Amino acid sequence: MTTTAHAPRTEHDGVVYDEAGSANAQRRGRRFNTIWLFALPALIPYLFVVIIPSVQGITFSFTDWNGLNPDWSWVGFDNYVRLINDKAAVGAVVNTLTLAVVVTIFENVIGLALALALNTRIKSRNALRLVFFAPVVVLSVVVAFLWQFIYTPSGPINQVLEAIGLGELAQNWLGDPDLALGAISVIMIWQFSGYAMVIYLAGLQGVPQEQLEAAALDGAGAFKRFWYVVRPLLAPAITVNLMLALIRGLMAFDQIWVTTQGGPAQSTETLSTLVYRNAFQYGEFSYSAAIAVVLSLFVAALAIVQYRLLNRSGKNA
C-alpha cells in the first residue's frame, strides 16, 4: 500500500488554499519586484529622454506651435498634408533612401570581405583589425571634418590625381550636385565598414572548421564553401549588420550637416537635415515634428520588413 503526499492546504471562509501554490506565487512576486528594482535606473532616464519627448513630438505635429510662442492651436493633419505636397520633402525622401541603400550594401560587402580576409592566420591580422575598426570609435563630426578637408579642391584626393597625371579627373567633390551624395556615402562607408567587419568576425568564429574541411574534400571551391557552409551560419550576423547599416543610413545627419548642410541645390538634403532646418532655421517646430514622426515610422517599418525577410531567408537556408 502506497501513500501520496499532498501539499498542505488551508481553509478560510469556506475556500481551500494550496499553501505550496501560494508560496510559489509569493516567490514569483518577489522575483518580479526585484527585476523592476534593477530595471528602474535604466527605465527612468529612458522615460524622460525617449518616451516623453516622443509623445510630445507626436502631439506637436498636430499643432501650429513655432517652438517659442506658448499659444498654439490644433491643426489636425495639416502638417502631414503639407509634407506630402512639399517638393523639398519628396527630394529628401529620395536622397534618404538612396543614401541608406548605398551605405547598407557597401558597408556589408566591404565588412564581410575584410572579415573573411582577416579570419586567417596571417601575422598582422590583429593590427589590421585594429586599423580597420579605428574609424568607428571616432566621433562622426570629427570624421566629417576630416573628409571635408580631403574633398576640398586643393585637398589630398585632387593632389594625388594631379601627381599621377589624372588631373582632369579632379573634382569639386562636395560642390557638385551630381557627386556630393556619393561623396557623403563614401564617408559613412569608410567609417562603419570596420563595425560590420567585427560583427562578421564574431559570426565566423561559430563556423565549424570540420564542415569547411569536409566540403573542401568533396571538391567544393572557395565560393561554394562560403555560399553553402558559411553563409547560412552567418545569417544572424548578416541580419544585425544590415539592420544597423540601414538605420544609420536613414538617420544620417552629422556627416551631411558638417560637409554640405544639405546642398548644393538640396542634392544631399535628407529627412534628418530637413527636420533640423525647419526646426532651428525656420522656426517651424510643428512641421519639423511631423517630418520626424514620418522618419521614425519609416525607419521602424523598413527595419521590421528587413528583419522578417532576413529571418525567413535564414530559416530557409
List, in sequence order, every residue forming a beta bridge with 12; answer none if it has no partner: 15
Residues of the chain with pLDDT under 50: 1, 15-17
Beta strand pairing call for 9-12 and 15-18: antiparallel
> What is the Cα–Cα distance from 146 to 135, expressed in whole angstroms?
11
pLDDT in the model for residue 228: 87
Nine cell digits for residue 218: 568533396
Question: Phi/psi of residue 3, each to 5°?
Answer: -120, 145
Angle CA 278–279–283, to nearest 5: 85
pLDDT in the model for residue 20: 53
Q: What is the DSSP string of 111-174?
A: HHHHHHHHSS--TTHHHHHHHHHGGGGS-HHHHHHHHHHHHSTTSHHHHHHHHTT-GGG---TT
pLDDT in the model for residue 17: 47
Nine cell digits for residue 270: 535628407
pLDDT in the model for residue 10: 52
Residues contacting 103, CB < 8 A, separation 6+: 185, 188, 189, 192, 245, 248, 249, 252
Nine cell digits for residue 107: 558597408
pLDDT in tens, 69-96: 778 889 989 999 999 999 999 999 999 9
pLDDT in the model for residue 102: 97
Q: Whole-prediction pTM value?
A: 0.81
